[in-house]
Amino acid sequence: MNFKQTQLISEFKKEVKESFPHITVLEHYLAPEGGVAITVASPYEDGWEIIHQMGQKSIEILETYGYLIFVVPLENVTPEELAAMIEDLRVARERELAELAA
């Protein structure tokens, strides 16, 4: 990812968090579709609302910069599930860093 993509991803994450303060932004990754997917966890059943509202931002970025960035909401996530997801991401990141250091 280049600097501009990284900047746009950070702005997208900030905007989704401001629009939906109850969500947790988990990660972003290169999606098979060729864009960047940002995974968010919500304790509510509001995935379509998140997709709808952030879809306009996705379109603006695509039209202006040519980068596809979109949100992937996980609905009805319990606090226990969220804690497990965060721990899994932490472990995966530690593994990745250990592999890079080796």
Tell me whether residue 23 is in a domain: yes
Predicted confidence at residue 102, as pLDDT, reads 79
The model's pTM is: 0.87
Q: Which two tokens stand for residue 30?
A: 């290169």
Q: CATH code at 17?
A: 3.30.300
Q: Mean pLDDT across the stretch 77-85?
A: 93
Tell me whether residue 10 is in a domain: yes
Tell me whether residue 93 is in a domain: no
pLDDT band at residue 32 using 50, 70 and 90 as cut-offs: confident
Contact, 51 vs 73, CB < 8 A? yes
Tell me whether residue 60 is in a domain: yes
Q: Which amino acid is at 11?
A: E
Contact, 51 vs 42, CB < 8 A? no
Tell me whether residue 12 is in a domain: yes
- 33 pLDDT exceeds 80? no
Tell me whether residue 82 is in a domain: no
Query: 47-69 burial string, b = 16+ CB within 10 Å, else e?
Result: beebeeebeebbeebeeeeebeb
Tell me whether residue 13 is in a domain: yes
Contact, 87 vs 99, CB < 8 A? no
Instruction: Give percent helix, percent strand, percent coil of the chain, each to the nearest 5.
Output: 60, 20, 25
